[in-house]
Structure 1
Amino acid sequence: MKTFITPFRHALLAVALPAAFAFSACSDDDPDPAPVVEQGRVLLSHAAASANIQVKALINDTEVGQLNYGQSSGYLNVNAGTPTLKINNSANQTAASQTITVAKDQSYSAFAYAPTATTVGLLQVTDDLAAPASGQAKVRVVHLAQGAPAVKLSQQTIAGPVDIPNISATFPASATATTWASGFASVPSGPYNLLVTTGATSATVVAVGDGTGTGLNGTATATATKTYEAGKIYTVLVRGILGSIDPALQPRAVVIQHN
Structure 2
Amino acid sequence: MILIMKKLSFYGLCFVVLLSSCVKKPAPEPVGEAKFRALNATSGSIAQDVYFNSNKVNIAPLAYGQVSAYQTILSGPSYFGFTDNGSTIANIEIPRAVKIGEHITVLYYSLPNGSKNVGFLVDDMVAPATGKAKVRFVNLNGFFLDRFSVQLVGGAPIVASLPYENSSAYAEVDAGATFKLLAQGLTSDPLINANIQAGKIYTFWVDGTATELVTHVMIQN
TM-score, normalised by the number of residues in structure 2: 0.76
Distance in 1 between residues matched to 2:156 and 2:90, nearest whole Å: 40
Distance in 2 between residues matched to 1:188 and 1:150, nearest whole Å: 25
Letter in 1 for 2:176: G
Kept in 2, the 8 Å contact 1:59–1:85? The answer is: yes
Q: Does 1:48 align with 2:17?
A: no
- Give ranges in structure 2 of 5+ residues lacking alignment: 1-29
Letter in 2 for 1:219: S
Match of residue 172, structure 2, among 172, 178, 186: 186
> How far is the alpha carbon of 1:220 from its aligned partner?
5.5
CA distances 1:192-219 after superposition (whole Å, capped 9, x unpaired): 2x222225xxx7x5xxxxxxxxxxxx31
Letter in 1 for 2:206: V
Letter in 2 for 1:257: I
Alignment-derived partner of residue 16 in structure 1: none
Kept in 2, the 8 Å contact 1:235–1:257? The answer is: yes
Distance in 2 between residues matched to 1:154 and 1:133, nearest whole Å: 20
Alpha-carbon distance change, 196 to 53 in structure 1, aligned in 2, over 3 angstroms: farther
> How far is the alpha carbon of 1:104 from its aligned partner?
1.1
Kept in 1, the 8 Å contact 2:31–2:76? The answer is: no
Alignment-derived partner of residue 75 in structure 1: 70
Distance in 2 between residues matched to 1:105 and 1:167, nearest whole Å: 31
Q: Does 1:119 align with 2:115?
A: yes
Match of residue 82, structure 2, among 87, 96, 104: 87
Secondary structure at the aligned position of 1:132 is classed as coil
Distance in 1 between residues matched to 2:207 and 2:156, nearest whole Å: 20
Kept in 2, the 8 Å contact 1:39–1:102? The answer is: no
Letter in 2 for 1:43: R
> How far is the alpha carbon of 1:190 from its aligned partner?
1.7
Kept in 2, the 8 Å contact 1:117–1:241? The answer is: no
Letter in 2 for 1:40: A
CA distances 1:41-99 after superposition (whole Å, capped 9, x unpaired): 112111123x5221111001111132101111121111111211011123332111101
Aligned residues: 188
CA distances 1:155-185 after superposition (whole Å, capped 9, x unpaired): 345xxxx54324642113xxxxxxx011101
Alignment-derived partner of residue 228 in structure 1: 196
1:234-249 → structure 2 map (5 Å cutoff): 234-242=202-210
> How far is the alpha carbon of 1:117 from its aligned partner?
3.9
Kept in 1, the 8 Å contact 2:153–2:177? The answer is: no
TM-score, normalised by the number of residues in structure 1: 0.65
Distance in 1 between residues matched to 2:123 and 2:198, nearest whole Å: 18
Q: Does 1:219 align with 2:188?
A: yes
Alignment-derived partner of residue 20 in structure 2: none
Which protein is bigger by CA-based radius of gyration? 1
Distance in 1 between residues matched to 2:207 and 2:53, nearest whole Å: 26
Match of residue 157, structure 2, among 164, 185, 205: 164
Secondary structure at the aligned position of 1:130 is classed as coil
CA distances 1:120-166 after superposition (whole Å, capped 9, x unpaired): 00011211121111111000001111122212222345xxxx54324
Secondary structure at the aligned position of 2:167 is classed as coil
Alpha-carbon distance change, 113 to 139 in structure 1, aligned in 2, over 3 angstroms: same
Kept in 2, the 8 Å contact 1:236–1:253? The answer is: yes
Distance in 1 between residues matched to 2:156 and 2:82, nearest whole Å: 35
Alpha-carbon distance change, 81 to 232 in structure 1, aligned in 2, over 3 angstroms: same
Letter in 1 for 2:205: L
Letter in 2 for 1:118: G
Q: Percent identity, aligned pairs only?
A: 22
